[in-house]
Chains A and B, each alone.
Chain A
Amino acid sequence: MSKFVDKGKRETPGINTASLPDIVFIVLMFFMVSVSMRQTDRKVMLSLPAASEAAKLERKDLASYIYIGTPTLQYQRLYGTESQIQLNDAFRSIEDIRDFIASERESLSEAERPYMTVSIKADENTRMGIITDVKQELRRCSALRIMYGARKVSAISSY
Chain B
Amino acid sequence: MADISFLMLIFFLVVSTMDKEEGLVRRLPVMPPENVKVEDQKVNRRNIIQVKVNSQDRLFAGNEIIDIAQLKNKIKEFMTNPNNDPNLPDKEVLFIEGFGDCLVSKGVISLQNDRGTSYSKYIEVQNELIRAVNELRDEWSMAHYGRRYSRLSEEQQNIVRKAVPQNISEAEPKDVTKRRR
Contacts and interface: CB of A to CB of B under 8 A. Distances in A.
Interface of A: 17, 20-21, 24-25, 27-28, 31-32, 34-38, 48-57, 60, 63, 117, 119, 122-129, 131-132, 135-136, 138-140, 142, 144-152, 156, 158
Interface of B: 1-2, 5-6, 8-9, 12-13, 15-18, 20-31, 67-69, 113-120, 122-124, 126-127, 130-131, 134, 170, 173
A133 to B, nearest CB: 9
A52 B119 CA distance: 16
A135 B23 contact: no
23 contacts: A28-B8, A37-B16, A38-B16, A49-B119, A50-B123, A51-B24, A51-B123, A52-B131, A54-B23, A54-B24, A57-B21, A60-B21, A119-B21, A125-B118, A125-B119, A126-B119, A132-B115, A145-B28, A146-B26, A146-B28, A147-B25, A149-B21, A150-B23
B115 A127 contact: yes
B115 to A, nearest CB: 3
Contacts of B15: 37-38
Contacts of B23: 48, 51, 54-55, 57, 119, 147-150
Given A25-B5, A55-B24, A119-B21, A139 B118 contact: no
B13 A144 contact: no
Given A37-B16, A132-B113, A136-B173, A53 B119 contact: no
A83 B117 CA distance: 14
A35 B170 contact: no
A68 to B, nearest CB: 8
Q: Which 3 A-B pairs have the closest CB atoms?
A: A129-B115, A35-B16, A124-B120
B127 A128 contact: no
B124 A156 contact: yes
Contact of B119 (A20, A36, A127, A136): A127
Contact of B24 (A25, A38, A53): A53
B104 to A, nearest CB: 22
A31 B25 contact: no
